Amino acid sequence: MNQVYTKTVVHMEEVPVVHSRGGQMRVLASPATVGSTQLIMGHVLLQPGEEIKEHLHDYGEENVYVVRGRGTAFIEDIPHAIRENSLFIARKGERHRVVNEGPGELELVFATAPLAPRPEIGHREV
C-alpha cells in the first residue's frame, strides 16, 4: 500500500538530529520525511575537529555544498580543501569523508541521488 504524504515543507527543527555518522546531521528530504522518490537531501553541522565518517554510496552520487566554514573533503583518500560557497561531488562508489579543521563551525548541505532501491543499502560505511 502506498503511503500518502501530507508534508510538502519540512522545517529543520522538526527533523531529528542524527549523530551516528559524525557531527549533527538532519535528513530533510527523504522517503520518510516527504515521500521523495529521487533523492535524499540534508544538513550537517560539524564543530571544529569533528568529521563525517568515511562512507560511500553504491547507487548514486553525493553533492555537498559548503554554506560556511572551512575543512577538507577526502575523496578516495585525496584531500580537497573546501570552503564557504564551494561544492564537491563524491561519485557513485567513491569513498569520502569530511573533516572540520576549524576554528569555526562547518555547515554543509548534501544531496544524494538517485535513491537506492532500499534505504538500508543506500549508504555504506567503510
pLDDT at position 73, please? Answer: 98
In a domain, 95, yes or no: yes
Residue 6 in this model has a pLDDT that exceeds 70? no
Greatest mean pLDDT range, 24-38, 58-72, 112-126: 58-72
CA 48 – CA 31 distance, rounded (Å)? 31
CATH assignment at residue 44: 2.60.120.10
pLDDT at position 3, please? Answer: 56
Region 108-114: mean pLDDT is 97
pLDDT at position 104, please? Answer: 96
SS3 per-residue string spanning 38-60:
CCEEEEEEECCCCEEEEEECCCC
Residue ranges making up the domain that contains 91: 16-116
Kindly report, residue by residue over 58-89, the tens digit of the pLDDT.
Answer: 999 999 999 999 999 999 999 999 999 999 99
In a domain, 6, yes or no: no
pLDDT at position 102, please? Answer: 84
In a domain, 112, yes or no: yes
pLDDT band at residue 5 under the 50/70/90 scheme? low
Number of domains in the chain: 1
In a domain, 123, yes or no: no
Which of 27-36, 47-56, 92-101 has the lowest average pLDDT?
27-36
Residue 70: strand pairing partners: 83
